[in-house]
Structure 1
Amino acid sequence: MTYSRDAYERIRALIQDAALNDARWPAADRMIGEVNRTRGSALGLGEGQSPADGSILLARICLDGERREDWEHRYFSNYFPDDERIPRWARLENGRITPAADLYTDEERKASPAYNEALAEMRAQNGLYLRMDGPDGLHVGWLICDSSERGGWSSDQVRLIQRLRPHVRQFAIMRHALAEAEVTGPSTTELLTSRRYGVIHLDRRGRIMEANDRAADILRQGDGLADFDAYLCTRMPADNAELSRLMARALPPFGERGSAGSMRVARSSSETPLAVHIAPVGEEYPHFRTRRIGAVVLIADPSGPARIDPARVAAILDLTPTEGRLVVALATGRTLRDVALATGRTEETVRWHLKQIFRKQGVSRQVDLVRRVLALDGFADLPD
């Protein structure tokens, strides 16, 4: 099997489009399958080392060119808690391609329900796995279904997977960041109305066109990111060089396709850096109503001040003061790791408190808990 440069560029363009418009991911996965002779793939982003101490933040299973949410629900309900490969996958070397079968022992390949039922029905027992490092201790996992090539995987197939790896990784990171920002669609209006994240639109020369209130506050403070004559810049020279590199990739010369990227920006006022994600906006985006927009910048400030009163939340939801502070921290963008560092507790202790809150509130997902807290502070209900 061989593939052309044009085929690779078309796949890359679809993946870049999907970073801002999730509905395009099945088309990207379908073309990967057509070029690489596979049925589909499973993509996930999570934290932790096992089903017991981790959580899944994003999941996409695509088979035969369609996203299969029924399969996602089925796998995570019936197989994920006991899937023997998960702890082994979490320890794989970053970026290393590993045969799926190698993550099971000989005995497990005979008896494991996950291997003999889930992977068999997906036609992925002879598939390939990649684990990719993400920001803040997150892991991106990509399982590519079996090759239909006679004789198994060819060097060209493996080479294409390796070339697509950074783009697939960035897609997962961007989709998670947009979900955390409570952005569910690709319109400029929805992006700019995010209350939790800063959002900036850049023109094709990299100049700032528009910024939402959160981004404007960050730029006004000038601690980390700043507005210098309508261009983004950073406080630290090393960060500025990295920002320039990412912007050059997102805003290449006319006629070339941009690439998304992420970085951390140091600040003097906080030990917690800003998280910055930059994604190009393709010419195919009618949702943006203008072709002048070149890229979207998403800024996360985990140390930003809480706008929700923890005491009020605790009183309304019948929580302890400690639990009230925890749910407000989560609702304002902090991770369990952030809370543990800020309070001097271990992540296991913080996670135990979260489980107690789940039990009291009758929920099982962090997003449901966050939705409930934000609704108390006058935020609109968030869509599922």
Structure 2
Amino acid sequence: MSGDIIPRDAVPPPRDGFVAAVEAIYDAAAVPERWPQALQEIADSFGDVGAIMIYQREDGGFGSICSPRLEAAQRDYEVGEWWRQDVRFSRSIERGAIARHDAVTDRDIASPEEMRTLPFYTQFLRGHGLGWFGGVGISPDPRVSVALSIQRSDQKQAWTEEELDRLSRIGRHVENALRLGIRLINAEASQLALSDALARVGVGVFLLAGDARVLFANPAGQALLGDGLVVAHGRLTARSETAREALQARIAEAAFGDAVARSGPPQPVLVPHPQRDGFLAVHILPVRPAGGGPVETLLAETVAIAVVTSSEADAPADPALVRDLFGLTLAEARLAALVGAGRPPREAGEQLGITEATARTTLKRVFQKTGTTRQSELTALLARMVVR
């Protein structure tokens, strides 16, 4: 196993790579095979070894993508069945539900004594020259849970609160890019031309030029056009003045903003959709195609991709939107979405993989942050905001 150990000088020194990481994330949004390199850029921005992204669908299906420098450790993790002893994995959902922030690290998962004695730490991690991790949960789709984890060398100190905050901000961009990316991964887009893959995804997708001209719209996107979101004079816009101005600003930022501006916190544009008694959430992904392959040819004039999702009647709220609107953690938002849709705390906890006691503790924080005191008030609040 010594051949798999990460030398101290194999990891680049810390650098101001946040912007570069964000650009790599959006480069991968429409090209799933670029995710390993994007994950490496994320790890490099912290001066760490590598990163891994694990996703699980509502139907139980799951998968993972890791950066190149973690491939050997990931193979050992699977072949050696270290996942059976991975306390990070087994405890992350329960411990993450009570954490005050979205990003967590080993001190939120295990005691110092456990980190000194458990075989997962002493044999697996140290055997690969690995130490502390930082992880963050993200929600690109209400039916898909994703965890982004960054692994650092055993020669580095523990994660600081500032680093965990930066990881949370990186996670928001990964979430935004995965609004499209996770659906392309599920559609096995690498086997298809991009236009064919986009036609198969279940959300609206519009490829936009700098002046908001629609260069391509998939069938799902065309079906969402109507009295809320429209194409006028060939440009994507909205009938509501507030939504129209916000949409124009997001597209202009993607087209003409500098790299620093594009790396700011991504926010969706909510477009009223009276036909469905709800709204459309428009997520703008900046695009900077490079190279001369077929994907780049299709994206030649594209500066932004608009991913449009529709609210669903009687469905739980989108946790990511609940989080952003009410300042919750993602774990709190996931619970709020289920409880707000009428699930009892015990049932909601079971669905999320946490105990009833943890669910009730988390729900108290949700009530405090949303200014509600009981489940019926939370349900009414989410219904009034039409956050579905």
Alignment TM class, shorter chain as reference: 0.5 to 0.7
TM-score by length of 1: 0.61
**2:301 corresponding residue in structure 1:** 292
Q: Which amino acid aligns with 1:299?
A: V
**2:135 corresponding residue in structure 1:** 129
**1:3 corresponding residue in structure 2:** 15
Aligned pair partner of 2:221 in 198, 215, 239:
215
Q: SS of the counterpart of 2:136?
A: strand
**More displaced, 122-131 or 63-72?**
63-72
Q: Which amino acid aligns with 1:274?
A: L
**1:175 corresponding residue in structure 2:** 181
* Cα deviation code 1:46-85 (max 9, x no counterpart): 589xxxxx95766333361649774685679635797123
Q: Are the equivalent residues in 2 in contact too, given 1:62–1:68 (CA < 8 A)?
A: no
Aligned pair partner of 2:243 in 235, 239, 246:
239
Q: Are the equivalent residues in 1 in contact too, given 2:21–2:45 (CA < 8 A)?
A: no
Residue 38 (str. 1) matches residue 48 (str. 2): yes
Alpha-carbon spacing, 1:340–1:126, altered in 2? closer, same or farther (3 Å): closer
**2:100 corresponding residue in structure 1:** 93
**More displaced, 207-216 or 105-114?**
105-114
Q: Are the equivalent residues in 1 in contact too, given 2:105–2:159 (CA < 8 A)?
A: no
* Cα deviation code 1:307-352 (max 9, x no counterpart): xxxxxxxxxxxxxxxxxxxxxxxxxxxxxx999999x887998999
Following TM superposition, by how much is the alpha carbon of 1:284 offset from its aligned partner in structure 2, in angstroms?
A: 0.6
Q: SS of the counterpart of 2:273?
A: coil
Residue 64 (str. 1) matches residue 69 (str. 2): yes
* Cα deviation code 1:101-139 (max 9, x no counterpart): 331246754776666666556655522233456564866
Q: Are the equivalent residues in 1 in contact too, given 2:140–2:178 (CA < 8 A)?
A: no
Following the alignment from structure 1 to structure 2, what is the Cα–Cα distance between the partners of residues 123 and 197? 42
Residue 198 (str. 1) matches residue 188 (str. 2): no
Q: SS of the counterpart of 1:274?
A: strand
Q: Are the equivalent residues in 1 in contact too, given 2:15–2:47 (CA < 8 A)?
A: no
Residue 270 (str. 1) matches residue 276 (str. 2): yes
Following the alignment from structure 2 to structure 1, what is the Cα–Cα distance between the partners of residues 170 and 337? 31
Aligned pair partner of 1:250 in 222, 233, 254:
254
**Tell me, which stretches of 5 or more residues in structure 2 are unaligned?**
1-12, 314-335, 351-388
* Cα deviation code 1:121-164 (max 9, x no counterpart): 66555222334565648665332213455555578866764653
Residue 27 (str. 1) matches residue 37 (str. 2): yes
Alpha-carbon spacing, 1:284–1:168, altered in 2? closer, same or farther (3 Å): same
Following TM superposition, by how much is the alpha carbon of 1:88 offset from its aligned partner in structure 2, in angstroms?
A: 0.8
Following the alignment from structure 2 to structure 1, what is the Cα–Cα distance between the partners of residues 77 and 192? 23
Q: Are the equivalent residues in 2 in contact too, given 1:20–1:186 (CA < 8 A)?
A: no
Q: How many residues align?
A: 311
Following the alignment from structure 1 to structure 2, what is the Cα–Cα distance between the partners of residues 246 and 72? 41
Following TM superposition, by how much is the alpha carbon of 1:174 offset from its aligned partner in structure 2, in angstroms?
A: 3.5
Following TM superposition, by how much is the alpha carbon of 1:208 offset from its aligned partner in structure 2, in angstroms?
A: 1.1
Residue 84 (str. 1) matches residue 91 (str. 2): yes
Alpha-carbon spacing, 1:213–1:170, altered in 2? closer, same or farther (3 Å): closer
Following the alignment from structure 2 to structure 1, what is the Cα–Cα distance between the partners of residues 270 and 256? 22
For the aligned residues, what is the CA RMSD? 4.7
Following the alignment from structure 2 to structure 1, what is the Cα–Cα distance between the partners of residues 228 and 78? 40
Q: Are the equivalent residues in 1 in contact too, given 2:229–2:239 (CA < 8 A)?
A: yes
Q: Which amino acid aligns with 1:89?
A: G
Q: Are the equivalent residues in 1 in contact too, given 2:133–2:149 (CA < 8 A)?
A: yes
- For 1:339-378, what aligned pairs fall within 5 Å after superposition? none
Q: Are the equivalent residues in 2 in contact too, given 1:206–1:251 (CA < 8 A)?
A: no
Q: Are the equivalent residues in 2 in contact too, given 1:12–1:164 (CA < 8 A)?
A: yes
TM-score by length of 2: 0.61
Q: SS of the counterpart of 2:290?
A: coil
- Percent identity, please: 19
Q: SS of the counterpart of 2:132?
A: coil
Q: SS of the counterpart of 2:289?
A: coil
